[in-house]
Amino acid sequence: MATKLLALACIGRESHGNLSPRPHYPSMPNYPKGLSVQESSVELGSEAKAVFSVMGMTCSACAGSVEKAIKRLPGIREAVIDVLNNKAQVLFYPSFVNVETIRETIEDVGFETKLIEDGIYDRSTQVCRIRINGMTCTSCTSTIESALQAIRGVQMVQVALATKEAEIHYDPKIVSYNQLVKTIEDTGYEAMLISSGEDMSKIDLKIDGVHTDHSMRAIKESLQALPGVQDVNMSLKDNKISLSYKPEMTGPRTFINEIESTGSRSFKASIYPKGGGGRETHREEEIRQYYRSFLWSLVFTIPVFLTSMVFMYIPGIKRGFDTEVVNMLTVGMFLRWVLSTPVQFIIGRRFYTGSYKALRHGSANMDVLIALGTNAAYIYSVYSVLRAATSKDFKGTDFFETSAMLISFILLGKYLEVLAKGKTSEAIAKLVDLAPETATLLTLDDEGNVMSEEEIDSQLIQKNDVIKVIPGAKVASDGFVIWGQSHVNESMITGEARPVAKRKGDTVIGGTLNVNGVLRIKATRVGSESALSQIVRLVESAQLAKAPVQKFADHISKYFVPLVIIFSFSTWLAWFLAGKFHWYPESWIPFSMDDFELALQFGISVMVIACPCALGLATPTAVMVGTGVGATQGVLIKGGQALESAHKVNCIVFDKTGTLTVGKPVVIDKRLLTSMAVQDFNELIAATEVNSEHPLAKAIVEYAKKFREDGENLAWPEAQDFISITGHGVKAIVRNKEIIIGNKSLMLDHNITIPLDAEDILAEAEGKAQTSILVSIDREVVGVLAISDPLKPGAEEAISILSTMKIRSIMVTGDNWGTANSIANEVGIKTVVAEAKPEQKAEKVKELQALGYTVAMVGDGINDSPALVAADVGMAIGAGTDIAIEAADIVLMKSNLEDVITAIDLSRRTFFHIRLNYFWALGYNVIGIPIAAGILFPSTRFRLPPWIAGAAMAASSVSVVCCSLLLKYYRRPKKLDKLEMRGIKIE
């Protein structure tokens, strides 16, 4: 199950070529003025990415202001603003704009900003590595190199016969890695992509003892001289050095040793402490700020509340507060003025700065509503105080308690909101916490005996280190077992509840728990390459991406605040005119108020009850929790686009091998049609198929091994002119004999006659859901191999459950019709397409889409990638190929079919919560605004005081976040718990 989980290094990296998943962000660059597209592709050069922490954003209007301001700058390719995580990700061209300019621009909009991370990526050249099977001599490498170098856009090619790999430097704007793979296959070799970009890791080191630029430069020069170091950036201010390096060549321990041995050996280096600039640090600081502001506002607001609403009903105290100081100015009015002023202008300063900067950039946000509402109450109250102090007969009412209590309740609401929002990202925090803090590093001699043990920081693990893992400890790094056996609980990564047996040669994943034995692990993927890091990166990326449904809220937010201001002013004017012209009885006016003050309260209530925040939070909070829950269930969802599409799925196209079946085929029968020696037959077919990576080829080779006495230490005869014919079979020259192994159509294509005996064997095997392989030697069919790939546990039940969910299931496979129909009948699938090539799978998906279906494709192989991309939702089996995982929208980590149901059910549940959030947010405004405007007042005398309206506004945002947080308690459908998991044993 976890055999190829380490291949998840591809997840989250930038996709290239035709296999890219649908983009979650706009992909067209915002070219600087004066440059054409053609010129810009040449002149823009390196592209950079910067991620900023942006504190103070409250709604999508805030995000719109920041995005608009950034995009006005020259050289900005894209800006993605994440209100929920207070983060802005900017792609830009450093030759036109720098990080500091972007940061200042965000601050000009009115938000506190800090750079979290940045880096320059040269997109003009990419490096991909391809595994090539079938090479036998240097002439093979020369042929491949010549073919690749002839492609426009390829800059350098290195083909290594020993490692059977090619490293190609190419321009992704001109050529894609798919074309490179196809070119190699066209020359007659089997090619498989290993990685599409240069594998790089990054690390930050803190250096103590450095006091001068000269020392820092000396350290930088010594680090740059190390093999594998790609880039070194230093900051004397923070005593920090950032390094980009190739993990297979060097690592953090090497860097620390080099630094500490530089100069007079007075320098000390360590991993730069986590936190500084991290998401959680900024969120905690924001929580503390709101908490402090709320407490200080209470200090002033509680006395204001008491003097205006409590003490006025206590006769003795009321007399004291009603004592006149100057003319009609009383002690109570003066105290309320003094106490509310700090709340309005010092504690509430954030609303003024936010409003000013939003309006300056041509937009309006929640701060504008709060500033207008509280200022209306405060300014009128100051007017009443001044009139009372200068008049002997003026009897006015102040609303100081309205402005003070409004600000206090809004601050309380924001404090509760950021607390709740923090809980939506708990899934990422839990994933990050899976990595152990320390690891036991072993030093072995040439014979594998332990020479020493050392406990080190797990971040200092380098590739090829040997790590000891004791029972009850977490595996510190991705790798494979070189000694020992145990069971490992991988549920924290894959969601698989049952511990998985591990012995020598088995792969393990960093962050999983060793249960009952001691293991020695050889590290293969460390740092940012690890499966855990890639999963965290994927989930973070998914939570940053907007779901299409969020466009609805973004569109409304553009007009929401201006419309509320207009409606608020209209409410005040309507009630004021109604009072002046006596359109309602004077008895409606409350005691101690006049018609102007009553109208003013209605207008303020409308302004402060309207809440754009609830609308803005409706989608991202639910998507964040939904993707986080999916990750803990072993379902990796790549963003809101995938999540939204999945809930609409009503048709699923399944691949067969490795998807409906286990994907580990075995040869169960062999029929020879001639008198040929069995040993010779086995050697010829094994020598041919050993050059292929296809699962059926591996099954044939493993079968032939059983008849060899030398077991593992064997050498097959040399195969020449090996050619893999995609979807059909292979052919080669072995011992001067032409060997062709494949399906019936391959034989017919080569004009090879199929005997009647072979036809009967084919029909019999297909009836038993077995794949039949014909073997031809010198254009004569000499044998037939029957290969069986057992169904996955629970496949039949999963298809049945999908049927009850009103989802149509279809099987599309490259296998023959007989086997395909037998498998389909066994699992309950009625529609089958067999003998389909990769492009035909994609065409079938498009055909279903044309009929009105929302199609999901579930597959695991390279040949499934075009269909995965073509489908509305591509679901890749987690143990499948890198390229399938890269092309998919959803990755099923446990490689079982239950998670197809879980993914769709989770998507439906998430969108139920999104709809609920929108219903609540819109319904709250639709109902709350008319009530605040006084629609119930004529019939019931009920009115909503502004401070209660403010409290209701704050509560609406919190309620939306809490509604999304209910997704944390998601449980997969109970039907899945009843599935009978049949165990399968493959001999």
Q: Across the chain, what does the average pLDDT equal?
A: 78
In angstroms, the CA 309 to CA 402 distance is 11
Statement to judge: residues 345 and 299 lie in one domain = yes
DSSP structure string for 145-188: HHHHHTSTTEEEEEEETTTTEEEEEE-TTT--HHHHHHHHHHTT
Q: What is the pLDDT of residues 153-172, one digit of tens each?
A: 888 787 765 456 677 888 87
Query: What value does the mean pLDDT take over residues 8-14?
Result: 36
Residue 448 placed within a domain: no
Q: Per residue in 443-475, pLDDT tens?
A: 888 777 888 888 888 888 888 889 999 998 889
Q: In this structure, what CATH number is given to the domain that contains residue 80? A: 3.30.70.100
How many other CB atoms are found less than 10 A from the CB of residue 377?
28
How far does Cα 708 stand from its chain's mean position?
48
Question: How far, in Å, CA of 447 to CA of 194, rounded?
Answer: 31
What is the Cα–Cα distance from 17 to 461, expressed in whole angstroms?
33
Do 286 and 219 reside in the same domain of the chain?
A: no
The percentage of the chain sitting over the pLDDT mark of 70, rounded to a whole number, equals 81
Report the distance separating Cα 704 and Cα 739, nearest Å: 16
Q: For the segment 236-293, what is each residue's pLDDT rounded down to a tens digit?
A: 766 778 777 777 778 888 888 888 887 666 788 877 765 444 455 566 777 888 899 9
pLDDT at 384: 83
Alpha carbons 871 and 883: distance in angstroms, whole number: 16
Whether 803 and 655 share a structural domain: yes
Cα–Cα distance for residue pair 94/123, rounded to 1 Å: 13
Angle between helices 99-109 and 60-71 (to 10 degrees): 140
DSSP annotation string for 755-788: PHHHHHHHHHHHHTT-EEEEEEETTEEEEEEEEE
- Tell me the per-residue pLDDT of 174-201, one tens digit each, with 9 for 90 and over: 888 778 888 888 877 778 766 665 445 6
Buried b (16+ CB within 10 A) or exposed e, 384-420: bbeebbeeeeeebbbbbbbbbbbbbbbbbbbbbbbbb
Question: What does the DSSP 8-state code read for residue 308?
Answer: I
Q: What is the pLDDT of residue 418?
A: 75
408 and 483 assigned to the same domain: no
| HSE-up (13 A, CA, CB side) for residue 145 | 14
Question: Could you give the residue numbers annotated as active site?
Answer: 655
Residues 482, 488, 491, 496: is their CA dihedral positive or negative?
positive
Q: Closest Cα to residue 889, out of 567, 542, 571, 611?
A: 542
- Cβ neighbour number for residue 675 with a 10 Å cutoff: 6
- Whether 450 is in a domain gets the answer no
Report the C-alpha gap between 473 and 710 in whole angstroms.
39
Residues 290 and 263 in one domain: no
The pair of three-digit structure tokens given for residue 961, joined into one six-digit string: 């976040």
Contact predicate 667/785, CB 8 Å: yes
The backbone torsions φ and ψ at residue 233, rounded to the nearest 5 degrees and listed phi first, read -120, 135
Domain boundary among the residues 93, 119, 145 is at 119
Which range of 55-59, 320-324, 480-484 scores highest in mean pLDDT? It is: 480-484
Q: How far is CA 891 from the centre of its chain?
A: 11
Of the candidates 811, 869, 880, 877, the one whose C-alpha atom is nearest the C-alpha of residue 842 is 869
**Helices vs strands, H then E, count in the chain:** 33, 36
User: Which range has the worst mean pLDDT, 162-166, 604-608, 866-870?
Assistant: 162-166
- Range from 108-122, 392-406, 813-827, 901-915 carrying the lowest mean pLDDT: 108-122
Residue 423 · residue 629 · CB < 8 Å: no
- For 578, the token pair is 């109604």
- pLDDT category, 16, cuts 50, 70, 90? very low
Q: How far is CA 135 from CA 169, 607, 657, 723, in A?
A: 21, 74, 27, 10
Distance CA 649, CA 888 (A): 15
Q: Is 719 helix (H, G, I), strand (E, B) or coil?
A: strand
Q: Shortest CA distance to 874 belongs to which of 902, 896, 855, 861?
A: 855
CA distances from residue 329 to 316, 344, 400, 445 in whole angstroms, order as listed: 19, 21, 14, 92
Same domain, 293 and 391: yes
Q: Is residue 650 part of a domain?
A: yes
Residues 420 and 318 in one domain: yes
Residue 284 within a domain: yes
In a domain, 368, yes or no: yes
Residue 979 domain-assigned (yes or no): no
Structure confidence by residue, pLDDT tens digits, 754-801: 888 888 888 888 777 778 889 999 899 999 998 888 888 788 888 989
The answer to whether residues 496 and 509 belong to one domain is yes
pLDDT digits (tens, 9 = 90+) for 95-134: 788 888 898 888 888 788 888 765 544 445 677 778 776 6
Say if residue 283 is in the same domain as residue 421: yes
Q: Over the stretch 369-383, which tens digit does the pLDDT of each residue have?
A: 788 888 888 888 888
Would residue 582 count as lying in a domain? no
CA–CA separation, 641 vs 623, rounded Å? Answer: 10
Average of per-residue pLDDT across 549-558: 71
Give residue 142's pLDDT band: very low, low, confident or very high (50, 70, 90).
low
Residue 365 near residue 59 (C-beta atoms within 8 A): yes
Task: Answer for the pair 734, 687: CB distance below 8 angstroms, yes or no.
Answer: yes
Does one domain contain both 292 and 420?
yes
pLDDT at 512 over 80: yes
Q: What is the CA radius of gyration of the chain?
A: 34
170 and 232 in a common domain: no
Tokens at 6, concatenated: 């380490």
Q: Give the three-class secondary structure for 113.
A: strand
Domain count within the chain: 7
Q: What is the pLDDT of residue 463?
A: 84
Amino acid at 615: L
Picking from 274, 290, 305, the residue at the C-terminal end of a domain is: 274
Residue entry with tokens 């009103």 = 806
Structure token digits, residue 539:
């989930």
Q: What is the pLDDT of residue 87?
A: 82
Tokens of residue 303, six digits: 């006395």
Closest-CA residue to 77 (of 45, 117, 125): 45
CA distance 814 to 117: 46
Better pLDDT: 987 or 607 = 607
Domain of residue 356: give its range.
279-433
pLDDT per residue as tens digits for the range 814-860: 777 877 888 888 888 988 888 887 778 888 988 999 999 999 999 87
CATH at 496: 2.70.150.10
Contact 432, 533 (CB under 8 A): no
The secondary structure of the chain in percent helix, strand, coil, rounded to multiples of 5, reads: 50, 20, 30
Share of the chain above pLDDT 90, in %: 9
Which one has a higher pLDDT value, 395 or 923? 923
Q: Do residues 734 and 691 share a domain?
A: yes
Strand order in the sheet with 771-777: 666-672, 780-788, 771-777, 737-742, 729-734, 719-725
Question: In this structure, which amino acid lies at residue 544?
Answer: L
What is d(CA 147, CA 185) in angstroms, rounded to the nearest whole number?
Answer: 11
CATH of the domain at 795: 3.40.50.1000
Q: Does residue 965 form part of some domain?
A: no
Q: What is the pLDDT of residues 335-352, one digit of tens each?
A: 999 999 999 999 998 888
Q: Rounded to an integer, what distance in angstroms lies between the CA atom of residue 75 and that of residue 454?
A: 49
Which is nearest to 526 in space by CA: 293, 755, 252?
252
Distance in angstroms (rounded) separating the CA atoms of residues 297 and 304: 11
Sign, Cα dihedral of 938, 941, 946, 948: negative
User: What are 90's strand-pairing partners?
Assistant: 50, 79
Q: Which of 484, 517, 550 is the last residue of a domain?
A: 517
What single-letter DSSP state applies at residue 514?
E
Token duo for residue 170: 């190419």
